[in-house]
Structure 1
Amino acid sequence: MNKLSKLGVALSSLALILSIINIILVLVNDIGMVHVWTSAFIAVLCCVHIYLHLSRKGESDQS
């Protein structure tokens, strides 16, 4: 795995953590559901990115 791939996964993980924190803070402060849906969308995209990266890494390890 090259350095750029590791950086991408690290940034996606960070964005996922920050999105979850943002969702919690928005729900606690009752700001609005638009922020929750936006953060949830970002969190889902990060999960998909990390999953695709790990599945691609698993395929390259098997060959």
Structure 2
Amino acid sequence: TCKAHDVNPRVYLNDVIAQMPYHKKATQEELLNLLPHKWKLKHPECVLTKQKEESSN
């Protein structure tokens, strides 16, 4: 899902896992904001570009 939305999966998972303890009583909307396509709106620095992807292969 991260790759489909051009999100760096390592950074995404590290951030979401770090936030988990703070979402014990989260609403559905708060949990939906943790999905990659919404998460990347708050973290534009983690969006993958084709050049970055090609250089890492």
Into which bin does the TM-score normalised by the smaller protein fall? 0.3 to 0.5
Higher RCO by CA contacts (8 Å cutoff, separation 6 or greater): 2
TM-score by length of 1: 0.36
TM-score by length of 2: 0.38
